[in-house]
Chain A
Amino acid sequence: QVQLVQSGSELKKPGASVKVSCKASGYTFTNYALIWVRQAPGQGLEWMGWINTKTGNPTYDQGFTGRFVFSLDTSVSTAYLQINSLKAEDTGVYYCARDPSLSAFDLWGQGTVVTVS
């Protein structure tokens, strides 16, 4: 079954770090880019950036540079989002999604709720 499965909800204190995982199955992990999306409570979707799953090279959107880190472990077909020095405004749902050709996002994880309080 083709799917992206994300790690469970996290409750963190301000200043801490969190690492969210996104495990792919049912397809060749390195054939598709992986994007990250944030959705703050009651708000819209924000494109955070993407990671090249062949090279591991990350690209961050403005507003997500510095404290946000995208990484991979291709041996287990998993992408990671780490957020350092957490702030209350980082609270939200974080989604990973697959991008077949840098054009659209055709497969989404179920989302991971991160609460900073």
Chain B
Amino acid sequence: QSALTQPASVSGSPGQSITISCTGTSSDIGRFKYVSWYQQHPDKAPKFMIFDVSRRPSGVPDRFSGSKSGNTASLTISGLQAEDEADYYCSSYTGSTHFVFGTGTKVTVL
């Protein structure tokens, strides 16, 4: 199972909105609703941000939202803040109790 494809980097100014794409295939993102997103600051463990495509765990700001269309999932950060600067990873269920992560996207706040 190949990693899901994400852009290497995305940037935006404070207050702007950015969207990170996560492209898979009809065997993973296109087939299942189990897409999740994780935020990772340097030298820290990943943090759970979105599950089931668009659901937010308690404690995650509503500036973070998720969606899916066909074989591509997206994470949108609205009202970008300095603390949002981090790496972001998507993940999808691929069937038979297996999962795959995306290649990762570095978000820079200008």
Q: Which residues of A pack against B, CB within 8 Å?
A: 35, 37, 44-47, 50, 59, 61-62, 95, 97, 102-111
Contacts and interface: CB of A to CB of B under 8 A. Distances in A.
A95 B45 contact: yes
Given A103-B36, A106-B48, A108-B48, A44 B103 contact: yes
B7 interface: no
Interface of B: 1, 3, 34, 36, 38, 40, 45-48, 51-52, 57, 89, 91, 93, 97-104
Nearest to B4: A44
Secondary structure at the B interface, as helix, strand, loop or mixed, is strand
A103 B104 contact: no
A61 B2 CA distance: 11
A44 B91 contact: no
Contact of B98 (A44, A59, A95, A103): A59
